[in-house]
Amino acid sequence: MNRVQDPAIGRIETETVVAAIDRALDTAGAAVAALEPGSLGAPTLCADWDVHTLLEHLVRVIYGAVAALSDITADAELPADVLGSDPHGAFATAAELDRAAWSRPDALEGAVPTPLGELPGPSAALAHLLELTVHGTDLALAAGRTDLADDALCAALLDAVVEAGGLDPYRRPGWFDAAVPVADDAPGHLRLLAYTGRRV
């Protein structure tokens, strides 16, 4: 499968969603690498979550997906603090497992349990891509690195999510807040974050 190319990826079709996940992991990894020592307590666009909480959530999301695709119990062997003393290393390890899990030939076949319920493989991949992209962008902005936001991926993902039915059925506390108004010509990452309820 070919890696999605810059600067635009167009519609995220079934055959490219795994490549997009790979790209989102790269982007999130760059954001994690950009975090300064001592910045884990900094605020994020996620209400009541600092960087540590957000990064821990993202790593748990990744391990949950890996577990679902491997047909094992999520969090079965995870420590209480999945970041430990090396948050950067914890994300890198999780990201490599994620790449391997979604790259399996049968990854998109059958139903996959997700936090949004059991979904067909391609829909589960799109939901996972949304988590990776949104939280990776959250981390980039928390690090003060808007240059690390992948506007092309964010814009294409927003179009794909809306075309797939949108997030309105999932707008509830702990999932997604109501969409926030934003200019039509705003950068792709701001439009995606606003759609997911971030007050950008």
Q: What is the pLDDT of residue 8?
A: 37
Mean pLDDT over each residue of the chain, to the nearest integer: 88
Write the CA distances from 107 to 14, 44, 90, 94, integer angstroms. Answer: 11, 32, 23, 17
Residue 104 has pLDDT above 60, yes or no: yes
Separation CA 20–CA 167 (nearest Å): 20
DSSP letter string, 45-56: SSTT-BHHHHHH
pTM: 0.89
Q: What is the pLDDT of residue 14?
A: 52
Separation CA 65–CA 59 (nearest Å): 10
DSSP letter string, 159-185: HHHHHTT-SGGG-STTT-PPP----TT
Write the CA distances from 136 to 68, 76, 105, 118, integer angstroms. Answer: 21, 25, 26, 24
Q: Which of 81, 73, 87 is nearest to 139 (CA)?
A: 87
Residue-wise pLDDT for 27-83, tens only, equals 999 999 999 888 999 999 988 899 999 999 999 999 999 999 986 555 557 778 899
Q: What is the pLDDT of residue 4?
A: 34
DSSP-assigned letter for residue 6? S
